[in-house]
Structure 1
């Protein structure tokens, strides 16, 4: 082996990988195309399991990672939907760094792989989707920003982030953005992801479903993308060359490999019955489309026969293997990674990481209601009734794609540090089918200085392969909450654990319920984080990353209707805050604090002149009233040097209260009035800033006009409209116009 070029670390990766692939026979090559790559002992190539998961901590889902007596667990951070609610980019990256440190340490000890099929970055289009817990919410810009930050945290090796040759950039671990694309139906009223054909307009594809993936590849430089089970407009995503080869690898320039969701090729054959394909046809289709790796055994079983039948070129197999082994080269699989060799057992479940998990939960928790009650004073509220199906939550706080947590602090444990806890479960489980547990909870509330009710959803209601059919609390939970609130001696605080929104209008309007918190699924230290917020050790600053709809939303349109814009002919409302204009329980971006913040505009740019030449062409836009249409409605963003058209905004955030706190500054743009089917508004920036009591901080934003003021028309062109746009900060706390004009150089 000392003479093999692939073992010579002085040679470029491309040369080494070619040498490695060229040394294999056809069948040896094929045996490396499944997630369980067999290796080739004849040439010293070790076997490798590609499938590991690290959605919010190193997971034991996937065959590449396991826990035992040496490494009994890993830090379990809050599920993604709660972490997203922090709107804190640096936190997202820091969590990625912590997770990858634990992953590398476990790899060194033979307990984990180097390739992690995380994060999930599908947009949460509908509150009924079961996998919202895995996602960063409903806004494609927020989802993409989360993705690029978390991926950078997982992958980046300090000092090598900006190397010229990205195909040789070292990786700490390899991340994977999934599931491309338009995947957000799992199992709803007889419709499942293995049969579903998502009928999507090209406009929605560009504007919403593909945008986070494009950001993940371009901004995060992710080293893998996973295609999904569903079809899009009739074509299985894992067999779509336009999506895989032309867009992800071509237009976006992926430096890495494309992998199928597990058994997706088998799903194509058995459930989609795509083109009546045989197994050999299917592997030929997917290889040619640009699918490099099969999570499953279809490639390893049927690519050989497909090659013998003349349906597969060995060249296509070689190409996929080169992508795969280049990633393993970058990870140090062949040479080792000296900068990570020292990581070991002490780097897993470290005190630092456990505190980071606690802080992440605190930052994500959203205060939805506060009737001058929170925070509680521990000196005044010494006896606390902690009741409800999540009062003693353990695994429920961890969510799915979880490993074994280092430790778990349940809510009753967290509150016991602030006073004497009287615990009653109130419900036997989240589904709350038995009302007999309610009376003991009422009795506890009568004998306590304050009552905390922990209710909500769980994996028995929403998770992979399980979509919701309503937006209500399960079983007798509503009755539990109302009856406990009616008899409680002290103030009642309701804490909701869920991923998707819940219609809790009854609690919002109930004067006996003084405060409401949303805590997502807050990870292993969730109980501590919730108690810290309730008793004021931490001032909440989280914001909802999804809209909380009223219960009748589910009667307005089916989960399977994919368009985001309203469909007037069917009476369907729009989806997400960008297009839904009805009433809500709580809107996207909502969240209160124990203090109060004022905004003032320090500086802003009010006009932007885009220089055009005779080689530029005006593009038409449809207006509701042609009288509002300017002479040159828009230009293609691809036709102008977008980096030359930047505008800035500076906001002063003043904390006018008596408590230190963090404020999330949300910035939206509204397109010129009258453009048909344009978004009501769209998020273009956010920043979480800590401001001490009676102090102020300045927050500066720099925007690219094409990205921040651009729209996608019905033909899927990305356009910059002329006219008066509006920049909105927060919930219309500050707004100002910015005029986009086109100047023609004759």
Structure 2
């Protein structure tokens, strides 16, 4: 009998090991419930702590929590990998998650598993900016935050997302321009505030609480990553006050005042000799003081380390830690503050009260998110889960955004749209014709699925595919093979451009032409083609394609940005006329001669006739362009007329105003004066062209 028991025990032991080795154990690799504080069901004693009392206001709860922590415990909460306090029922929390154009796997706060293998991947932001559609910006944010909450509920995402990027796309070489809405401060301001509202606003209308917490970055005047030895970690952006006020700062101001964003991230660079993360005027003075940020200020990752080691701005690490916290920084992405804050206090450079202020802002944000409200399954959004990620509606929205953003830049009469019934053979050529990951750009997540351009086009007509180049660098073009395919087809679609090997974070471009031998391939193919030749440019910025603009054999040009997971379907929708293109360029396309003579490091926006400096962006640059900001064609024509508008708008002016008559050409009215002067204009628009598509 004893032998039988031992035999059974041995069998069970071996079976358990075997199941574990084959991945069949019943302990999940990743948690399927989120970490949260104030779990009173498991620890009833937490009911006695005021910071767990949801009936109290946030400040009272935060003050109660802070006073219960030791100094070392407090220091653990000034970094992104915050260390929990088990005695108070507070788990670890990872602050760093990203959601630039969908829930991303960049950052340790988010991961994809078999439980949630992907999330909706919208077009890269620059193409979304080309829609100029403010309500769409907000709707994207709403979908992304719903998917983020759903992933949070199964332990795969946090609640704090360091997006959007609202820096100005000042120079066409910038590798991260693709992440931004473009070069215009007004468009960037509208985008930032709308996307933040979509991410943060709750469906119950409670303005004091957050669905997820957004973060507007990178504050400020950051748009040089790596150009001719100039690195973002040590670059000093020399900016005039005028340019700071009317170009670089407005998107951040709008993010805080109009979007009520929960966080702002300071950047690596210096501005006029001061590191942004150590500048009390920019942080405590402007963000916290003038704009009244209700949230926390976070550093870009390892920027404090770079402040000390790369910029040599301070003499010791302790001085760096003290400067950052005293300047208004609340949270450090990295370990610098955990490594050096205690020593800074020991040296008298910092005191515990300074640390209290920082962590109070952090805790307040988490409380507005419900992190200290106990079981999230019993809160608003507690019913969300994997079923709410990658829904058909969300994926269709990704396709719709791409369609709205695609810009038609050239269209010889009768070229586009192609007729899917008339075209019997379509040649699809180019290194970006059958790509997947290229379409989603950087700060990406795992998409729900991909539809490549080749797949999208093949769904409507018979296609013949020839890549033409091994990759976008196109060191050697496969010209003869491509010409053979093109010559036999009724029409040709060339899908060229760049990818993250050409332009990305930490990778600024040196020139803005099509890479390698791409232009040779395009011209050769166009010369042998017997029908329409459509050049599709997939890129994260503008390119000098003057040769294609001037070539009569190239009948159409489309810019499609990095169009997201459904980019191929959206490209086909536009090419075949299922969708009428309406996108407009959110950035200037300069000639190569512009970047040949203008240093990327010159931050001046306005031209200088004395030196020949031509200025930047459509607001100040007056030279020749390949295509201009706002360019974009349609398949149709529209009439519009003004139905109703007020005949007179009265603006109260200060007594000292120079001109106080209705004959003034313009008036200078302060913002407070204009706040309550909104009025409606009724403009009627009618499609009067041959193409009645959306």
Please say whether Structure 1 and Structure 2 have the same fold, judged by a TM-score greater than 0.5.
Answer: yes
Tell whether 2:281 aligns with 1:281: no
- Among 418, 426, 437, the alignment partner of 1:395 is 437
Counterpart of 2:466 in structure 1 is 424
* Whole-angstrom distance in 2 between the partners of 1:287 and 1:209: 24
- Among 143, 153, 166, the alignment partner of 1:108 is 153
- The alpha carbon displacement at 1:605 in A equals 5.6
Q: Check conservation: 2:651, 2:673, Cα contact below 8 A.
A: no
Tell whether 2:622 aligns with 1:556: no
Counterpart of 2:402 in structure 1 is 361
Change (3 A) 1:280 1:471: same
* Whole-angstrom distance in 2 between the partners of 1:631 and 1:574: 30
Counterpart of 1:523 in structure 2 is 564
Q: Check conservation: 2:578, 2:693, Cα contact below 8 A.
A: no
* Whole-angstrom distance in 1 between the partners of 2:351 and 2:670: 39
- Among 294, 315, 323, the alignment partner of 1:255 is 294
Change (3 A) 1:270 1:508: same
Tell whether 2:365 aligns with 1:327: yes
- The alpha carbon displacement at 1:649 in A equals 4.4
Q: Deviations over 1:576-611 (max 9, x none)?
A: 111111111111011111101233344556765544
Q: How does 1:305-704 map to 2 (within 5 A)?
A: 305-335=343-373, 336-337=375-376, 338-371=379-412, 372-435=414-477, 437-604=478-645, 610-614=651-655, 616=656, 618=658, 635=668, 637=670, 641-646=673-678, 649-661=681-693
1:516 match: secondary structure: strand
Q: Check conservation: 1:84, 1:137, Cα contact below 8 A.
A: yes
Counterpart of 2:236 in structure 1 is 197
Q: Check conservation: 2:219, 2:276, Cα contact below 8 A.
A: yes
Change (3 A) 1:656 1:528: same
Counterpart of 2:183 in structure 1 is 138
222-231 or 493-502: which moved more? 493-502
- Among 256, 262, 265, the alignment partner of 1:217 is 256
Q: Deviations over 1:423-458 (max 9, x none)?
A: 1100110111012x2221111111212110000111
* Whole-angstrom distance in 1 between the partners of 2:581 and 2:258: 30
Tell whether 2:106 aligns with 1:61: yes
* Whole-angstrom distance in 2 between the partners of 1:25 and 1:270: 30
- The alpha carbon displacement at 1:643 in A equals 2.5
- The alpha carbon displacement at 1:644 in A equals 4.9
1:340 match: secondary structure: coil
* Whole-angstrom distance in 1 between the partners of 2:472 and 2:223: 24
Tell whether 2:316 aligns with 1:271: no
* Whole-angstrom distance in 2 between the partners of 1:13 and 1:389: 54
Q: Check conservation: 2:653, 2:669, Cα contact below 8 A.
A: no
- The alpha carbon displacement at 1:618 in A equals 4.3
* Whole-angstrom distance in 1 between the partners of 2:81 and 2:603: 35
Choose between structure 1 and 2: higher strand proportion: 1
Q: How does 1:164-203 map to 2 (within 5 A)?
A: 169-203=208-242
* Whole-angstrom distance in 2 between the partners of 1:567 and 1:652: 42
* Whole-angstrom distance in 2 between the partners of 1:345 and 1:53: 18
Q: Check conservation: 1:198, 1:560, Cα contact below 8 A.
A: yes
* Alpha-carbon RMSD: 1.7
Structure 1, unmatched stretches of 5+, are: 164-168, 620-629, 663-746
- Among 117, 120, 135, the alignment partner of 2:165 is 120
- The alpha carbon displacement at 1:661 in A equals 4.8
Q: Check conservation: 2:651, 2:674, Cα contact below 8 A.
A: no
Change (3 A) 1:535 1:564: same
- Among 277, 293, 298, the alignment partner of 2:336 is 298
* Whole-angstrom distance in 1 between the partners of 2:482 and 2:100: 35
- The alpha carbon displacement at 1:647 in A equals 6.0
* Whole-angstrom distance in 2 between the partners of 1:330 and 1:96: 18
Change (3 A) 1:612 1:100: closer
* Whole-angstrom distance in 1 between the partners of 2:419 and 2:667: 57
2:410 match: secondary structure: strand
* Whole-angstrom distance in 1 between the partners of 2:668 and 2:268: 36
* Whole-angstrom distance in 2 between the partners of 1:586 and 1:650: 31
* Whole-angstrom distance in 2 between the partners of 1:129 and 1:414: 30
Counterpart of 1:85 in structure 2 is 130
Q: Deviations over 1:120-141 (max 9, x none)?
A: 0001111111101100000001
Q: Check conservation: 2:299, 2:333, Cα contact below 8 A.
A: yes
Change (3 A) 1:12 1:648: closer
- The alpha carbon displacement at 1:612 in A equals 3.7
* Whole-angstrom distance in 1 between the partners of 2:132 and 2:651: 32
Counterpart of 1:97 in structure 2 is 142
- The alpha carbon displacement at 1:617 in A equals 5.2
* Whole-angstrom distance in 2 between the partners of 1:321 and 1:175: 18
2:380 match: secondary structure: helix
114-123 or 480-489: which moved more? 480-489
* Whole-angstrom distance in 2 between the partners of 1:492 and 1:131: 30
* Whole-angstrom distance in 2 between the partners of 1:77 and 1:94: 11
Give the count of matched residue pairs.
642
1:467 match: secondary structure: coil
Q: Check conservation: 1:387, 1:452, Cα contact below 8 A.
A: yes
Q: Check conservation: 1:231, 1:237, Cα contact below 8 A.
A: yes
- The alpha carbon displacement at 1:634 in A equals 6.0
* Whole-angstrom distance in 1 between the partners of 2:587 and 2:515: 20
TM-score (norm 2): 0.90
Counterpart of 2:58 in structure 1 is 13
* Whole-angstrom distance in 2 between the partners of 1:32 and 1:137: 35
Q: Check conservation: 1:35, 1:294, Cα contact below 8 A.
A: yes
Q: Check conservation: 1:541, 1:661, Cα contact below 8 A.
A: no
Q: Check conservation: 1:124, 1:546, Cα contact below 8 A.
A: yes
- The alpha carbon displacement at 1:471 in A equals 1.4
Q: Deviations over 1:652-679 (max 9, x none)?
A: 32322022256xxxxxxxxxxxxxxxxx
- The alpha carbon displacement at 1:2 in A equals 2.3
* Whole-angstrom distance in 2 between the partners of 1:569 and 1:637: 34
Q: Check conservation: 1:618, 1:635, Cα contact below 8 A.
A: no
Structure number with bigger Rg: 2
* Whole-angstrom distance in 2 between the partners of 1:654 and 1:35: 52
1:524 match: secondary structure: coil
Q: Check conservation: 1:556, 1:571, Cα contact below 8 A.
A: no
Counterpart of 1:686 in structure 2 is none
Q: Deviations over 1:668-725 (max 9, x none)?
A: xxxxxxxxxxxxxxxxxxxxxxxxxxxxxxxxxxxxxxxxxxxxxxxxxxxxxxxxxx
* Whole-angstrom distance in 2 between the partners of 1:533 and 1:192: 39
258-267 or 368-377: which moved more? 368-377
